[in-house]
Amino acid sequence: MRVKVEKIRGGSHPSEVLVSVKTTQGEERLVVHPRSLREGDTLEIGYPINQESSNYLVELPRETISGSWRVWVPAELVS
């Protein structure tokens, strides 16, 4: 499964890129390897851990800048 992200800028290392994920609580940012992005705007995730209404609890492949591994995202951002 994949979640839609937005590329913010390159990371501090050439093999990094900073992306943002829109969550139900706002935006979360994380640093990932550029090859983990497909079509430049989706990031691979595992199967959603939980569903509540039209939101999914997903685990990201890397820890966010704020320290989260799991975030609630709107279901329309997951494919």
Other beta carbons less than 10 A from residue 46's beta carbon = 10
Q: Check whether 78 has a pLDDT greater than 80.
A: yes
pLDDT at 15: 86
Q: Is 38 helix (H, G, I), strand (E, B) or coil?
A: strand
pLDDT at 31: 95
pLDDT at 56: 98
Q: What is the pLDDT of residues 2-55, one digit of tens each?
A: 999 999 987 778 889 999 999 999 999 999 999 999 887 999 998 999 999 999
pLDDT at 21: 98
Q: What is the pTM of this model?
A: 0.89
Where do runs of H (alpha helix) occur along 36-78? none
